[in-house]
A = this chain, B = another copy of it.
Amino acid sequence: MNIVILGGAGLVGQKLARALAKRGTLRDAEISRLTLADITDPAPVEARFTVETLTCDITDPASVAQAIPDGTDVIYLLAAVVSAHAEQDFDFGYKVNMMGTLNVLERARALGTCPALVFTSSIAVFGGEVPQPFTDSSLPNPQISYGAQKAIGEILVNDYARKGFIDGRGFRLPTISVRPGKPNRAASGFMSSIFREPLQGQTANCPVDKDFPHFYLSPRKCVENLIKGAEIPRDALGLNQTMTMPGRVWTIGQMIDALTAVAGPEPAKLITWDPQPEIEPILKGWRNDIRPQKAARLGLEADASFEDNIRYFLEDDLPA
């Protein structure tokens, strides 16, 4: 079992690599090699099996061919230009998120062995004038280029799978919280920082009201789902290999209550409540009534409570 993670330097890629290292198997087979590839050299991960790290530019077919050697059984395609970046740099977003995806699909096809390919899409595909709730049969009508590029990736993964070039499966990720690491400039950044920073004695700002609802998943469950996602029997995927990964809707108020239940009353006092007019239009466009029925039926899971999200952060990330 030879696995490649494209986007292996990112938060999800690194956690996935560590989970695979701990597990040692995928699809009932011993893992013999794991390749972590990213635009910057991924941090190495300790494992019983061989772990290679290399830089890969998915916009370059030759670089993709190098990252995905012959004999690759499972490819995780997590690499992407994120939402705000793709919105600011239209051409670069399409180059990486659309053409890069196409390069990876073409390489997978060229292997000639119908490798499994796990593609991460995003709930950013939802929006526009499509009514809620968003089911697995709702039109993606994205209102950011990142969502458009992910929606195109979904169609490509489905069509390459239908043709038998890949054993494709795609999952639309909810907003991941609590993300470890430093604050970033993503519009969704505060959805992690208002927990992460206060849990470390620092202030963080929440630009929305306590009744603001959104659709979340913890990094731990996300990784578990990506592993399960690779293991779903191909026939069970039906005629649409792309689906929303389970998540749960919480309001900011519910999430802060969970923070307090797990960590006491002090952290919540470190949250400030200043509006950020520059991200308000983005946040207003987001939707939350999302029904990930197919993935749930196939065994993928949401977090049981936001208390769990907080605990996972404390267990998995805070020690580091």
Q: Is A9 an interface residue (CB 8 A)?
A: no
- The chain B residue with its CB closest to the CB of A109 is B90
Considering only residues 232-288 of chain A, those with a C-beta below 8 Å from chain B are 238-240
Tell me the minimal C-beta distance from A298 to chain B in angstroms.
13
| Cβ B239 vs Cβ A143 within 8 A | yes
Considering only residues 108-141 of chain A, those with a C-beta below 8 Å from chain B are 127-131, 136-141
- The chain B residue with its CB closest to the CB of A237 is B129
Residues of B contacting A238 in the complex (Cβ-Cβ under 8 angstroms)? 128-129
Q: Is A187 an interface residue (CB 8 A)?
A: no
Choose one: B141, B142, B156, B163; the contact of A152 (CB below 8 Å): B156
| Cβ A151 vs Cβ B155 within 8 A | yes
| Cβ A155 vs Cβ B130 within 8 A | no
Q: Is A162 an interface residue (CB 8 A)?
A: yes
| Cβ B142 vs Cβ A131 within 8 A | no
Considering only residues 168-215 of chain A, those with a C-beta below 8 Å from chain B are none
| Cβ B152 vs Cβ A155 within 8 A | yes
| Cβ A240 vs Cβ B155 within 8 A | no
| Cβ B148 vs Cβ A155 within 8 A | yes
Q: A129-B240, A240-B129 are in contact. Are A156 and B148 (CB under 8 A)?
A: yes
- The chain B residue with its CB closest to the CB of A239 is B128
A207 to B141, CA, bound (A): 37
Q: Is A159 an interface residue (CB 8 A)?
A: yes
Tell me the minimal C-beta distance from A313 to chain B in angstroms.
34
Choose one: B130, B137, B156; the contact of A130 (CB below 8 Å): B137
Q: A138-B139, A152-B152, A163-B90 are in contact. Are A239 and B129 (CB under 8 A)?
A: yes
Tell me the minimal C-beta distance from A138 to chain B in angstroms.
6
Q: Is A145 an interface residue (CB 8 A)?
A: yes
| Cβ B141 vs Cβ A240 within 8 A | yes
Q: Is A158 an interface residue (CB 8 A)?
A: yes
18 other contacts beyond A128-B158, A139-B139, A142-B158, with CB at 8 A cut-off? A90-B163, A128-B238, A128-B239, A128-B240, A129-B240, A130-B137, A130-B240, A131-B137, A136-B139, A138-B139, A140-B155, A141-B240, A142-B159, A143-B162, A148-B155, A148-B158, A152-B155, A152-B156
